[in-house]
Structures are given as C-alpha cells and as structure tokens.
Amino acid sequence: MDESVLAQLLDPAALALLESIEYRPSDELAIASRLRKDGMSPDLASELLNQAQLRTEAKAKFGPFAASMLFTRDGLAQATRLSVAAHHSRRMLATAPEIVADLGCGLGADSMAFAGMGGATRVEALDADSVTAALAAYNLKALDTVSVTQGLAEEADLQRFDAVWMDPARRTGDGRTTASRRLVDPESFSPSLTWAFSVAETVPSVGIKLGPALDHALIPDGWEAQWVSEDGDVVEVALYHGEVRDRPGRNALVHGPQGALQIHESELPADDEDGIGDLGEYLFEPDGAIIRAGLVTALCGPLGMRRVSGPIAYLTGDRLPEGTAASAVASYRIVDVLPAGIKALRRALVDRGIGRVVIKKRGADIVPDQVRRQLKLPAGDSATLVFTRVGEDHVVLLTQPVAAG
C-alpha cells in the first residue's frame, strides 16, 4: 500500500465500505466486482479486499480486535500476538512508569497492551515507516493515552522516558512496495542492536524484542534473555535490562494448555545425565523455546529423562510428565526401531500396515519430503517417523504421538 492508496483507504466512506465486507475466499471475485461497480478505483478496491482478508487472518493474533484494525501483510506477519504483548506489558509496567516509549511500534500491538493495562501510563509510539505509523495511529485511535508519530528511534529524546520497548526492523525494504528479505547482521537492524543496547545507559527499564534465532554470544553480560513460546510456536526472544529485568541470563517461558512453565539457565545440571543413548518407552521433543535457550538438559533431572544422544535435542524416558511440566515437551510412544535404508524401511512400514507418515529429524541428513516420496507407501495407518541418532548410531524411530494431558 503506497501513501496515495492509504489516503483513499482512510476516507470515512471507504472505511464504512470495508466494514460491510463479509470476507470469504470463495467470494473474492464477487466482492472485487461489487467494489468496482460501487465506483472504487482499482487500487482502492484491491486494498479493501486485501484488508478484509487480512482482518480474517489477523483473528489468530488479535482476536475480536482484528475486525476494527488495518494491516499490511508484512506488518501482520511481524506483529506481536496480543497474548504475548500482554506479557510484555506486565513486565514493562511492573515499575509503574509514567511514560513508555514503543520504538518501532509496527501496527501497534505492544502499544495497545501497554495502554490497555497501564492505567495512567502514557505511551509514545514511533515507527520509521510513514504508512506503518499511520496504520498504527488508526489502530490505536481509541486509546487516549497513546500518541503515534513517524520517525527514527535514534532521534527520540530518551531522557523523557521511564521505560523503552524496542522491536528493531529486521527486514530490508518497506514491506509494501518492495520485496523484503530477512536481515542477518544485527548491525543492519533498524535501529542496530548496538544502539538498542546503548539505550540502557540512559533509560531505567529497557526491553528489546528479537527473533528467536539470536546468537547467544550477542547477549551482553547483565541482560536477561527470555525465549517465549505460545501453544508450541517459538515467537521471540525478548531482552530485558534495568528495573524490569528479573534475573540475568537465559530463560525459556513456555505457555501451554497446562499453564506457564519457566526454566532458567541456573537450573542446568553441572554434569551429564546418566544413561545417554538408552532408549526408554517414550521419546520427548522439548519445546522450541527451551531448545533455542539452550536449556534442554535442565529437563532431565526433574522429569526423569535423558538425551538420546549427547548433541541431539531429543529426550527419552519411561514416564510421561504431568501438570505444567507437560508443556515442556511433545511426547511420543516409541513403537520400534527401524532400519534407516529406504527399501528396508518401506518394507517394515508396509508389513505394519502404515501408509501415512509424519517425518521428523534431528542429527540426520535427510529431506523429509524427499524421503516420503521415495517410500511410496500404499494406503494405511498413520505414524511418526523420527530420523535421529541413538548414541552414535543413526536410526529411525517408529512412534505414535501421545495426546497432551
């Protein structure tokens, strides 16, 4: 969406028309035709249809709020889920700051949570992209404690803020008129990671949202790094400094059906667990946040588990975890250990009446889709194949998922 289309979209008549669209994928052509017959320009008709579609997709992140918001596709993909934004808000507002800055506010999810949960707290949101800032202002218009401006984070007057939340842009292009790609070098982020860290020299409370693949070596001493997963999806690593920091070091926060589970690097055992490579009755796949945070072995002692191989992030054991601990892993019953060669593996699966497989791997140099094509299985039951190592041996584990709870 360029600025000329944005201006048309923000016209009250266009917004009213957007509210009247009941979007279904099967009706796209009919909706587009009706919009053009109503006198809409082709660009605006296309954007209204796009917004209706994005509102439908955004329900997963924004719930009922999505129906009154405006989006860009890249902005929606990068937006914080409201449930996670609420977690950010609880942390950033714990010291009752008077003014919170949201630098790189995107479409406004975190500012929405800060304002909605912050009482008298004022929120000053800023984004470098003019269209994104305008959409954020629209999305936050009902919150009278929020102001939105367009500008660079590096030009903000940090002395005015009691707390700063940052979500550095990690893609090239504007996400609207040019193709974007993910940036790898943290110094190419906007603002750069070095500048983001320097904010802690001025502001009492600082939080930085980053992608979960962050290199541990980039985390400065004294900062807290929290990897967060929501219903099995690793959504971010957030770095905290100052008054909002809980404990320095790495931790994983897992939100699952059984509640929230948090693990800190101080819980890592000093020595390897006994029995590495001895298969138990079950295979366990740790939550992605725990893997990203490097905390897999912290599960072994409390949950009675051990690794299938020293460097592999699969665990095994003879009992299923209970309560909130069940959120830490996905569980599979080990049915058999099968040969890794395609011909022998196919024969073993056909003999067991298995015709549909989910293929998972760790420590195995395979391409799951290619293996599935090579197996050419006839119709049959379903199972999960895990290509991995047990001790030093490459194996295929035939497993069945165990339902959570």
63: containing domain:
3-70
- pTM over cut 0.85: yes
Measured distance CA(386)–CA(364) in Å, rounded: 9
Residue 36 inside a domain? The answer is yes
Which pLDDT score is estimated for 257?
80
Residue 267 inside a domain? The answer is no
Which pLDDT score is estimated for 278?
96
Residue 277 inside a domain? The answer is no
Q: Are residues 118 and 146 in the same domain?
A: yes
Q: Are residues 52 and 194 in the same domain?
A: no
Residue 272 inside a domain? The answer is no
Which pLDDT score is estimated for 40?
81
Q: Are residues 181 and 132 in the same domain?
A: yes
Residue 112 inside a domain? The answer is yes
Residue 259 inside a domain? The answer is no
Which pLDDT score is estimated for 39?
77
Q: Are residues 84 and 155 in the same domain?
A: yes
Q: Are residues 39 and 143 in the same domain?
A: no
Cβ–Cβ < 8 Å for 172, 181 = yes
Cis peptide before 191 (omega within 30 of 0): yes
Considering 199, 231, 246, which residue would you say is the last residue of a domain? 246
Q: Are residues 208 and 291 in the same domain?
A: no
Residue 260 inside a domain? The answer is no
Number of structural domains the chain divides into? 3
Which pLDDT score is estimated for 256?
83
Residue 376 inside a domain? The answer is yes
Q: Are residues 288 and 397 in the same domain?
A: yes
Walk along the chain (405 residues) and give the pLDDT tens digit of each residue. 889 999 999 999 999 999 988 888 888 888 888 888 777 888 998 999 999 999 999 999 999 999 999 999 999 999 999 999 999 999 999 999 999 999 999 999 999 999 998 776 899 999 999 999 999 999 999 999 999 999 999 999 999 999 999 999 887 654 444 456 777 788 989 999 999 999 999 999 999 999 999 999 999 999 999 999 998 899 999 999 999 999 999 999 999 887 899 999 999 999 999 999 999 999 999 999 999 999 999 999 999 999 999 999 999 999 999 988 999 999 999 999 998 899 999 999 999 999 999 999 999 999 999 999 999 999 999 999 999 999 989 999 999 999 876
Which pLDDT score is estimated for 366?
94
